[in-house]
Amino acid sequence: MATIHLVKEKLLGEGSFGTVFRAFSTTPEGGLTVAVKATPTSFQPGALSLLKEENILNSFRHCPEIVQCYGSEITEEEGVCVQNLFLEYAPYGTLADLIKKGAFIESQVRVHTRMLLRGLSCIHRMGLVHCDLKPDNVLVFPGTGIMPYYQLKIADFGLAMTLEEKKLDARDRRWFRGTPFYMSPESVATGDIEPALDIWSLGCVVLEMMTGLPAWTSWNIECLENFLFRLVSGRITPRIPESLSMECRDFLSKCLDRDSKGRWTADMLLKHPFVAADPRRSSLSSGFGFY
């Protein structure tokens, strides 16, 4: 990004690596509302995470299902040097915010799932694994076209596995990265980080959109340690409600196969009947609108 004047307007969130603000930036070309991830340069893990995320996002400048990055800059704030990463601002928040309002109808889930699959397809073709796909890391933007629907974009690549990291991590697979309730059995058991991990996470996200509840709700999980043990030991898998359509249940079964080699890839799932047909086209004649 060119030389800017940045005005941070609102705190959007805080994490272990830094804070996220809504801000207005001005450049010689004009002004822009952005989301700013910020961390002190003295906090090395946070600064390195932002640099990593910028490098990754620069590879996806032409993928509409992945949040866009506008660059970075180091600023001085109250005597502290701060690393700033400038991202697209999502005016409708996250997918988690939408889910809190209630479950979606199936036609909406089909559209949203197809968007996520397109994003994952781009990610996996670059040799990356997102590792932390969940509703909190999916941003919501205004849709385009005739019908009013949202555009979803995958964000937060701080935990993504790059090809370089994968080579280094081959020496020790006794750990996993990500959010436990969206992690696949093999990633928890052996630290096996492959694209199939993101597909399992996608299945959990789709279940959450369909039901309005986390994928593991029906198991009445008592504690994280007990959940991880049961996940690894093969005792539990997210339950797929019989009330869902046959196409949806079959799609989820392809995502939530405990055998990672049996899980479909993002490109395979894009051809599945659940998402292959775009319900927005048929809705034009029926008068149905999204949201």
Q: Which of 49, 65, 88 lies at the terminal end of a domain, its last residue? A: 88
pLDDT of residue 84: 92
CB 90 within 8 A of CB 141: yes
Beta bridge partners of 84: 38, 73
Calculate mean pLDDT across residues 233-239. Answer: 87
Known catalytic residue at 132: yes
Residues 10, 58, single domain; the answer is yes
pLDDT of residue 4: 57
129 with 255, same domain? yes
Is 188 inside a domain boundary?
Answer: yes
Q: Which residues pair with 40 in a beta bridge?
A: 82
Query: Both 139 and 182 in a single domain?
Result: yes
Does some domain include residue 291?
A: no
Integer CA distances (angstroms), 92 to 98, 142, 143, 228, 231, in order: 8, 8, 11, 33, 33
Task: Verify that 172 and 279 share a domain, yes or no.
Answer: yes
189 & 271 share domain: yes
Tokens of 276: 């292959």
On whether both 38 and 155 belong to a single domain, the answer is no
Q: Return the sign of the alpha-carbon dihedral for residues 199, 203, 209, 210.
A: positive
Same domain, 53 and 150: no
Least confident of 23-27, 81-85, 252-256: 23-27
Q: What is the pLDDT of residues 89-117, one digit of tens each?
A: 999 999 999 999 988 899 999 999 999 99
Find out whether 187 and 193 touch, Cβ atoms under 8 Å.
yes
Whether residue 103 is found in the same domain as residue 29? no
Please check the confidence at residue 44 and state whether its pLDDT lies above 60: yes
CATH number of the domain residue 32 falls in: 3.30.200.20
Domain that holds residue 190: 95-286
Average pLDDT, integer, range 223-241:
88
Among the listed residues 132, 136, 198, 257, the single catalytic one is: 132
Looking at the structure, tell me whether residues 119 and 9 fall in a common domain: no
Tell me what the pLDDT averaged over the chain comes to: 86
